[in-house]
């Protein structure tokens, strides 16, 4: 009888292709290195072709293995979706759920959110990963994550989403700033200011610029920070002003700095915060249920 490959073969193959290191791939798959090596060799024998070029310093995919890798990912995702679908036929929102969340949401929303979710769904086990939007979406697409909490909209193929809250912006500035006595901040108030924002790659930067209708031909600032906490300290030291999401303000990000926070004009668009999942996910009904719960709870 001819040997056939299994999902385990494919998962080991995908891990090695992504990590390019037998030891790291074995660790990621929770097996020993000899076990993983033997499985890769067995898969190559079954397929009748070499999948990797092995040297002392590197592990590289062979040219003919690239298409096989993409198909292997599709097969594993479909198999996972089948198991998810079977899982949903029982009690919803239980078992493990791998959730990705962006840094401009995680520290400000998760403490409150996690408490409410644990109370409502005690059998749901959440594993959290914090990263930037594009990397989280790639991990979702590859099946490494089940669900994301993102600021929307964000264009990406193969995903569904549901918004559960809105997050308006506030202007943070020194108490002696010329705008500090205003009750609300209008777009034109900001255009001559040194606006400090997160560096490129953080979606909050684009949402903040959109909120104040910042002119496209005008640079926001000469340098950018990698975290909201760093920006707050820069503003507190008189380097300019910034826009902060309401969830960060409510969480006390400016506490102890003496900074004043003033809401933007009511016409300024807020961030939409929502859940994002693969269109092929077998748990999509559960995710919609979770989004509805969060909308009510928050």
User: What's the predicted TM-score (pTM) here?
Assistant: 0.72
Residue pair 222/197 in contact (Cβ under 8 Å)? The answer is: no
Using one digit for the tens of pLDDT, what is the confidence trace for 21-63? 898 889 888 889 999 999 999 999 999 889 998 877 778 899 8
Domains 92-165+272-297 and 169-269 share a fold: yes
Position 1 confidence tier, pLDDT thresholds 50, 70, 90:
very low
Nearest Cα to 159, choosing from 272, 70, 284? 284
CA 191, 192, 194, 200 dihedral sign is positive
Using one digit for the tens of pLDDT, what is the confidence trace for 96-134? 899 999 999 999 999 988 899 999 999 898 999 999 998
The reported pLDDT for the residue numbered 220 is: 65
Looking at the predicted structure, is the pLDDT value of residue 149 above 90?
A: yes
By residue count, the chain amounts to: 298
Q: What is the mean pLDDT of the chain?
A: 88
Is 92-165+272-297 a domain of CATH 3.40.190.10?
yes
Domain segments of the chain as ranges: 7-84, 92-165+272-297, 169-269
Looking at the predicted structure, is the pLDDT value of residue 218 above 80?
A: no
3.40.640.10, 1.10.10.10, 3.40.50.300, 1.10.540.10: CATH of 7-84 = 1.10.10.10
CA dihedral of residues 237, 238, 239, 241 (deg, nearest 10): 110
Q: What is the CATH number of domain 169-269?
A: 3.40.190.10
């Amino acid at each position: 009888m001819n040997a056939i490959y299994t999902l385990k073969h494919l998962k080991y193959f995908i891990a090695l292709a992504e990590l390019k290191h037998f030891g790291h791939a074995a660790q990621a798959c929770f097996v020993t290195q000899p076990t993983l090596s033997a499985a890769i060799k067995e898969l190559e024998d079954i397929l009748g072709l070499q999948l990797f070029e092995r040297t002392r310093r590197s592990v590289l995919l062979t040219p003919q293995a690239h298409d096989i890798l993409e198909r292997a990912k599709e097969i594993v995702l479909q198999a996972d979706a089948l198991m998810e679908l079977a899982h949903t036929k029982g009690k919803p929102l239980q078992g493990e759920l791998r959730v990705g969340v962006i840094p401009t949401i995680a520290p400000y929303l998760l403490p409150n959110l996690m408490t409410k979710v644990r109370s409502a769904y005690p059998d749901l086990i959440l594993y959290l990963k914090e990263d930037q939007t594009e990397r989280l979406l790639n991990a979702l697409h590859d099946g490494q994550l089940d669900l994301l909490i993102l600021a929307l909209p964000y264009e990406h193929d193969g995903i569904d989403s549901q918004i559960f809250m809105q997050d308006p912006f506030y202007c943070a500035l020194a108490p002696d700033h010329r705008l500090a006595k205003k009750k609300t901040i209008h777009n034109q108030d900001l255009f001559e200011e040194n606006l400090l924002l997160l560096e490129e790659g953080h979606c909050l930067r684009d949402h903040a610029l959109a909120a104040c209708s910042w002119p496209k031909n005008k640079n926001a600032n000469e340098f950018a920070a990698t975290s909201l906490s760093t920006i707050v300290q820069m503003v507190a030291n008189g380097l300019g002003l910034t826009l902060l999401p309401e969830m960060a303000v409510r969480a006390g990000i400016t506490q102890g700095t003496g900074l004043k926070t003033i809401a933007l004009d009511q016409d300024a668009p807020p961030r939409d915060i929502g859940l994002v999942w693969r269109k092929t996910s077998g748990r999509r009904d559960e995710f919609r249920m979770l989004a509805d719960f969060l909308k009510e709870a928050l």
